[in-house]
Amino acid sequence: MYQIDEHNYFYLLLLIPVLVLVFLYVSWWKKKVRKQFAEPELLEKLIPEKSTFKPIIKLVFLSLGILFLVIALANPKMGIKLKTIKRQGVDIVFALDVSKSMLAEDIAPNRLEKSKQLINKVIDKLGSDRVGVIVYAGSAYPLLPITTDLASAKMFLQMANPEMVSDQGTAMNEALSKAMTYFDNDEQTNRFLFIVSDGEDHEGNSDQVAQQAAENGVRIFTVGVGSDKGSTIPIKQNGIFVEYKKDQNGEVVITKLNETILNQIASEGNGNYILGNNTNETVDEIENIISNAEKKEFETKEFSDFKDQFQWFIGFGLLFLIVETLMFDKKTKWIQKLNLFNEK
């Protein structure tokens, strides 16, 4: 396990493509000037020791030197010990609707991106809690098992999109059933399931499944994203609008937020319905629900005693820079004999 202390230093890596562009421009300029000065055959006689590949090798070494020094500045650390620690928190599973209706843009930028923003901000507010993520449309799939690694939860969440689920629809029942398998700690008294959806095109009977989940100690909260007025569903390819989604009769589909079903599920799940269109208000409400819950102590394994590794990268970086400095542009005799680069 490793971690990076200073990610901002990675912007310095932009120096490498700049160096390459400068090198290409200077090489082109030198070639142009030499042609004005003399013919290539004459130049070869005037500067017979001039190497054509050495400048490229020097550029490679210089780039590697910069690369390793930038990594050293970022201060990478390696976890050298895995130990069991005790933490206090609750178990939280997010079930994210990724059906096509979530692409409607009645909520900017669209319902799906808005939902991911909400979940991301909630995760930022968490402490020692465990988080899991499920995505569903016509069927439900586990995106991330329940974990204390909140950074991974945010990373996997960004990957969620309608293309992940081939079957369209809204299999909320299956999402509820899948969520129940995430809660692996029977001693945990506070288990929360947050369903983030527009409530559209559901398969029915979800309130009964929610009631069963509540009987097993899982509180279900629903977060509605969308508007009552509804909106069309844009179909895009490579980010370019193609057309609006149509039904079997060729009519443009209008999708609306179905608060009724979301209210029913939350009610049967011993939770509440939350309108999620206002990001800050929604995040504050969810944070208040979680913070007021009794925290349960549990054990988890984590890497500890992270040891600095920057000195290795400094060493390699300086080595490449020293070699680049000591390397001359003229041909090396023994390499010239091998003729690896077809130099005359």
Structural domain spans, the chain: 2-79+307-338, 91-294
Strands (DSSP E) found in the chain: 2-4, 76-89, 91-97, 130-136, 140-147, 191-197, 218-224, 231-232, 234-237, 240-244, 254-255, 273-275, 296-308
The tens digit of pLDDT for each residue in 268-283 reads 999 999 999 999 999 9
Nearest to 217 by CA among 247, 193, 195, 248: 193
Spatial separation of the C-alpha atoms in residues 246 and 231, rounded to whole Å: 12
- The pLDDT of residue 134: 93
Q: Give the pair of three-digit tokens for residue 50.
A: 């001039």
Helix (H, G, I), strand (E, B) or coil at 208: helix
Spatial separation of the C-alpha atoms in residues 231 and 134, rounded to whole Å: 25
- The pLDDT of residue 282: 95
Helix axes 206-215, 172-180, angle to 10 degrees: 10
- The pLDDT of residue 325: 85
**Predicted TM-score of the model (pTM):** 0.63
Q: Beta strand pairing status for 76-89 and 296-308?
A: antiparallel
Partnered with residue 84 across adjacent β-strands are 301
Using 50 as the pLDDT threshold, list the residues of the chain that sit under it.
334, 340-341
Spatial separation of the C-alpha atoms in residues 341 and 184, rounded to whole Å: 62
Would you give the DSSP letter of residue 170? B
- The pLDDT of residue 33: 73
Spatial separation of the C-alpha atoms in residues 64 and 97, rounded to whole Å: 45
CATH dotted code for 91-294: 3.40.50.410
- The pLDDT of residue 239: 79
C-alpha dihedral, 190 to 195 to 199 to 201, nearest 10°: -110
